Amino acid sequence: MPLTPFHLAIQVRDINEARDFYGVKMGLPEGRSAREWIDFNLFGHQLVTHLNPAIGKSGKIPNIHNAVDGHGVPVPHFGVVLNFKEWEALADTVAEFIDGFIIEPCVRFKDEPGEQGTMFFTDPSGNALEFKAFKDIDAELFAK
């Protein structure tokens, strides 16, 4: 089945803060926008940040953590699967402005089906992001 772009809308506490985080710091191209939302090109997918004033100026989106391969993985989370070269470049970029990773860039499920590079961090509003990489995405993405 051919891959098609997904559309994901998330809530943020401040539109200008989202523009700085996703557009400036992460380098995602900005698409259409209005006073209360911004479209970003997330590696060919449409990520839309929508203002939710109820979060508050210093509020955060709540999440829980589930155990996966010895780490506490935040739920909910979203992200993109990249090849290892893109993933490593993104990890270097993100390390320059993230105060602390939830899960530092690492390889999990080492020497098992589905071995993958992964990293987790949050945006300023508390939305958790995961970016992962496989050596052979087509063969390993859904490996058991």
62 by Cβ neighbours in 10 Å (0-12 / 13-18 / 19+) ranks as exposed
**Tell me: the pLDDT tens digits for 15-65?**
999 999 999 999 999 999 999 999 999 999 999 999 999 999 999 999 899
Claim: this prediction has a pTM higher than 0.85 = yes
Q: Where in the chain is the domain with CATH 3.10.180.10?
A: 1-53, 67-144
- Span 67-144 CATH architecture: Roll (3.10)
List, for residues 82-113, the tens digit of each pLDDT value.
Answer: 999 999 999 999 999 998 999 999 998 888 88
CA–CA separation, 54 and 132 (whole Å): 31
H or E segment and range at residue 142: none
Q: Where are the beta strands (DSSP E) in 18-110?
A: 30-34, 37-42, 45-51, 64-68, 71-75, 77-78, 81-83, 103-108
- Tell me how far apart the alpha carbons of residues 4 and 77 are, in angstroms, rounded to a whole number: 20
Instruction: Look at the domain 1-53 and name its fold.
Output: 2,3-Dihydroxybiphenyl 1,2-Dioxygenase; domain 1 (3.10.180)
pLDDT over 90 at 69, yes or no = no
Rounded CA-CA distance 87/32 in Å is 26
Distances (CA, A) of 97 to 10, 37, 56, 82, 115: 21, 23, 22, 20, 27
